[in-house]
Amino acid sequence: MPVRVYMEDTDVGGIVYYVNYLKFMERARSEWLRRHCINQQALLVENTQLVVYRLTCHYAKPALLDDALTVTALVTDVGRCKATFEQVVEREEELLCRATVEIACLNARTMKPKRWPAQVLKVFNISE
């Protein structure tokens, strides 16, 4: 997913503020879900919420004001109620940031883990 770095994304020195990489990654994961016909709003209506519960991140090089970045999201593991995304932020194929993001499927009312809905399992190519 292409991302342009704007002034709002940077600190006073013109370097992307570290937490904004996480925002870029959230957008890439949301777009991945959308591309695979997983509607997060519809999941909420069905009492299902997806949340980040663990994240590890390595910042390799800084992104700068006006950089054109590419942010990717790849599912690498799926469990009964969790999934792992490997995410990368690059500038012209140069690694800037890499993260492993684990998301959990929760009951939206109780905030307790629940199994993936059938339509999500289909996307992950897992049978119930």
Residue 126: predicted pLDDT: 57
Known catalytic residue at 66:
no
Annotated active-site residue in 9, 11, 66, 77:
11
Per-residue pLDDT of the chain (128 residues; tens, 9 = 90+): 999 999 999 999 999 999 999 999 999 999 999 999 999 999 999 999 999 999 999 999 999 999 999 999 999 999 999 999 999 999 999 999 999 999 999 999 999 999 999 889 888 875 44
Which residues have C-beta within 8 Å of that of residue 118, sequence separation ≥ 6? 128
**Other residues' Cβ atoms within 10 Å of the Cβ of residue 79:** 15
Token readout for 102 is: 């684990």
pTM equals 0.91
CATH number (3.30.70.1230, 3.10.180.10, 3.30.460.10, 3.10.129.10) of 2-123 reads 3.10.129.10
- Domain residue extents for the chain: 2-123
